Amino acid sequence: MSTADLQELLAILDLRQVDDDTYLGSHPSKNPVRTFGGQMVAQSLMAASRSLTFALPPSALSVTFIAGGDPEKDLEFHITRLRDERRFANRRVDVEQDGRLLTTAMVSYLSGGRSLEHGIAPPELPGPLTVPGVDDLLRGYEDVVPHFVNALRPIDWRYTNDPAWVMRSKGETLTYNRVWMKAHGTIPDDPALHAAALVYASDTTVLDSIITTHGLSWGFDRIFAVTTNHSVWFHRPVRFDEWVLYSTSSPVAADSRGLGTGHFFDQSGQLLATVVQEGIVKHFPR
């Protein structure tokens, strides 16, 4: 089933081209009430990448979420070409549905070559094959977090800590979440697809530390959460059909908004990408 889910993800990332600057994107068979934000961001990156004149790697993207999408309808990706050179390119991608603007993404591309290099080190953690998969961690919690149980599962998640719902049942708190991830199968040798898969996955656990810091969990507690902004900086090429570590935490929550930050590392410890996401997060005590 997970392999089939990966094929669904790859299918929705294979956008239909309408003209030079317009693409159409579909939804998978399993969807939340609103279009999954990570899906729209990943599809926006694919639309921008397909419009490039020169083969350039993405360096950064920043997305503002304006309205929720309807999973029953296709998404329109409208591209504005802001810069198009051999080493630099910039695109704006507006995602619309029935004439309504859902998100705007700014995508930058840069082929910079080698220069100074350094990076933070990953936390010391057990390897991905020594920790349980998410299916094992969901067993017994099917009625608590059915939206996770029934979600599309193209990515193999392996938590190195208790996920929110297990932590909550133990009455604990947690200021971080660290998850090994990789695609449930092989991704074609297209750098844009691997970057898009990382972007898709980057929207899955980044806000969790906001609520686990307070000992709360989806399903157990009355929590409203919606993403307002999502940014990714790509530091090195990624292969998302190999294990990467997504280490996330929350530096601040205030005024019903929370910030989640994350870093993707490969198994050698190199920092691949940095993520920052802001969301509206409200807790309604029972």
Range of the domain at 149: 2-111+126-283
Q: Decide: 153 and 5 in contact? Cβ < 8 Å.
A: yes
Least confident of 11-15, 30-34, 193-197: 30-34
Question: Which pLDDT band holds residue 286 (cuts at 50, 70, 90)?
Answer: confident
Closest CA to 62 of 106, 3, 115: 106
Residue with tokens 């934000």: 37
| 1: pLDDT strictly greater than 80 | no
232 inside domain = yes
- Give 133-164 pLDDT, tens digit per residue: 999 999 999 999 999 999 999 999 999 999 99
Domain count, the chain: 1
How does the average pLDDT of the chain come out, rounded?
Answer: 96
Whether residue 97 is contained in a domain is answered as: yes
In a domain, residue 120? The reply is no
Tokens representing residue 252 in the block: 């601040």
pTM given for the model: 0.96
**Which amino acid belongs to residue 113?**
G
Query: Facing residues of 83 across strands?
Result: 90
Q: 93 in a domain, yes or no?
A: yes
Quickly state the pLDDT bin for 31 (edges 50, 70, 90): very high
Instruction: Say which residues have a Cβ less than 8 Å from residue 1's Cβ, sequence separation at least 6.
Output: 153
Q: Is residue 121 part of a domain?
A: no
List the 244-254 sheet strands across, edge first.
16-19, 22-25, 75-84, 88-97, 100-110, 58-65, 223-234, 271-283, 257-266, 244-254, 176-183, 155-159
**Any idea what the CATH number is for the domain that residue 24 is in?**
2.40.160.210
Say if residues 213 and 30 touch (Cβ distance below 8 Å).
no
Classify residue 75: in a domain, yes or no: yes
Confirm whether 119 is domain-assigned: no
47 is a domain residue:
yes
Per-residue model confidence (pLDDT) at position 114: 87
